[in-house]
Structure 1
Amino acid sequence: MSFDPYEFDRDYGQSSRMESIGQYTAKTFLWMVLGLLVTFGIALLGWVTNATLYALAYVPYIHLIVLIATIVLSITMVSRIEKMSVGTARGIFIAFSALFGFTMSMYLYIFEFGSLIFVFLATAAYFAVLAAYGYFTKADLTRLRPILFTGLVFLFVFALVSLFIPGFTALDRIFCLAGIAIFLAFTAYDTQKIKAYYNYYAGYPDMLEKASIFSALQLYLDFINLFLYLLRFLGKSRN
């Protein structure tokens, strides 16, 4: 069974569904919110206790270790979602959220706390609007896939080049605006995919549950990336 939500029979398995599309979508967003609570809770705890600074000071390359661990977890979920158990999928999602909390805690030392709150609220508002659009629109957002993929490649290449060519930092605000636009579009796109997964895996309760966690991870990443680009664009540093 291929994990492509856009190749499905819309009429298949209607009688076997145990929950409505509205309930399924709400559950997916609740998982996303839980992931965000874990991330920002750990970030705040690391900042208040200075545990993040101690870890950076006494554990060599811990930031790289955490980065590699989060990448491994995300790749594992994407590549093995069909084979892993529901419990494993949930565990990976929570572990990913917790590890990313360590990375997020570093931003609490860089930006003013009031600025972080403002950007978080702005992110939540923008995210909610685009998620609502993705859920209710009748337009087929799958046509955005090539554009969104190209946008991700652009962001990656720009970030890589800026490490070696200092002059690229002058274009940083344009880079941030591009990142904001791309992840706003991803928010609508990934929200619409929830319905596609719901239809595609109707009649397969375990896969439907795992697809919900997978969708929550995608939406979580959309929110986090949108937050980070908005923070970079609007945030006030402590210096």
Structure 2
Amino acid sequence: MNQGYDYQSFGISRESLASYTAKTFGWMFLGLFVTFAASIAMYWTGAYYYVLATFNGLLPIVLGVAEIAVVLYLSARLHKLSITAARGLFFLYALLNAVTFSSIFLLYNVSSLVFVFGMTSVYFGVMALYGYMTKADLSRIRPVLLFGLVALIALALLSLFIPGLDTGICLIGVVIFVAFTAYDTQKIRQNYAYFQGNPELLQKASIVSALQLYLDFINLFLYLLRLFNRRD
């Protein structure tokens, strides 16, 4: 698909699929590091309480709208954004998510957080490896995964009126996001094949894939965490 683009003008060279995949996961892990490091800093310094007081109870809504806006803007303007802008939006999302994540230290014991983080890493790693190695076309399960997300949202709303659904919701969430991990990992290969003739779009597609994997890890972590008891 080479369309006459000069790879050297973008500061990159033609790279292998393995190298491209490794760089994509590198961006994802860097985003996770920013989120967890910033959330710990906010908790230790008490900055979370200041932000909470500033928005006077509207913090979850403000953060939710801001995070969705960043994701939609990045996805919609992939072809127009510069590589630097795409990376900047990715890390902006990671920082916004840190505000939400800082609250988990108020709800869960550190030992539970460490244990669940390790468990999430194992599940995520196994499914990412499967997605990278399998010859099966995982794009066929995309409609099922999207339906699962809609069902998950519907169940979450239903749980506001019917108690006792949380455990089932968490188990379904875990299944959905381990499947998404494999699907999104395989999608890296598809992006590599599709965009390899355009080095700029190839690098921006890597950021989008990193964001998708970041969201898979974060959601898997949160659903696993909710299966454990909250701090008394």
After TM superposition, the score normalised by the length of structure 1 is 0.90
Matches within 5 A, 1:215-234: 215-233=209-227
Residues 68-103 of structure 1, C-alpha deviations (whole Å, 9 max, x = no match)? 111100110111111111111000000000000000
Counterpart in 1 of 2:51?
55
In 1: Cα distance, 2:153 partner to 2:51 partner = 28
Of 48, 66, 69, the residue aligned with 2:66 is: 69
Equivalent in the alignment of 1:172: 166
Task: Give the corresponding residue for 1:19.
Answer: 15
The alpha-carbon deviation at position 39 of structure 1 amounts to 0.4
Match of 1:84, SS state, is coil
Shift of 1:40: 0.4
4+ aligned runs moved over 3 Å, structure 1: 12-17
Map 1:154-173 onto structure 2 (within 5 A): 154-163=151-160, 165=161, 167=162, 169-173=163-167
Distance 1:208 1:79 in 2: 16
Deviation string for 1:16-41 (max 9, x for gaps)?
Answer: 87100000000000000000000001
- Which residue matches 2:230? 237
Secondary structure in 2 matching 1:40: helix
* Cα 1:13/1:177, change in 2 over 3 Å: same
2 CA distance for matches of 1:57 and 1:19?
Answer: 48
C-alpha RMSD of the superposition: 1.5
Could you say what secondary structure the match of 2:170 adopts?
Answer: helix
Displacement of 1:172: 1.5
Which shifted more, 213-222 or 48-57? 48-57
Q: 5+ residue gaps in structure 2? A: 8-12
Contact 2:159–2:165 (CA under 8 A) maintained in structure 1: no
Tell me, in whole angstroms, the C-alpha distance in 2 between the residues paired with 1:107 and 1:20: 39
Q: Which amino acid aligns with 2:111?
A: G
Structure 1 residue 62: Cα displacement: 2.8
Structure 2 residue 131 is the aligned partner of structure 1 residue 137 = no
Specify the alignment match of 1:3 in structure 2.
none
Q: What is aligned with 1:151? A: 148
Q: Which residue of 1 aligns with 2:201?
A: 207
TM-score when normalising by structure 2: 0.93
Taking every aligned residue pair, what percent have the same amino acid on both sides? Answer: 49
What is the CA–CA distance in structure 2 between the aligned matches of 1:14 and 1:221, rounded to whole Å? 32
Q: Name the counterpart of 1:42.
A: 38
Asked whether the 8 Å contact 1:46–1:102 carries over to 2, the reply is yes
Q: CA deviation at 1:162?
A: 1.8
5 Å matches for 1:87-106?
A: 87-106=84-103
Pair 1:194-2:221 in alignment:
no
Question: Partner of 1:181 in structure 2?
Answer: 175
Q: In 2, are the aligned partners of 1:14 and 1:202 still within 8 Å (CA)?
A: no
Looking at structure 1, the residues matched to 125 and 55 of structure 2 have their Cα atoms a distance apart, in angstroms, of 38
Distance 2:82 2:211 in 1: 16
Distance in 1, matches of 2:230 and 2:59, equals 23
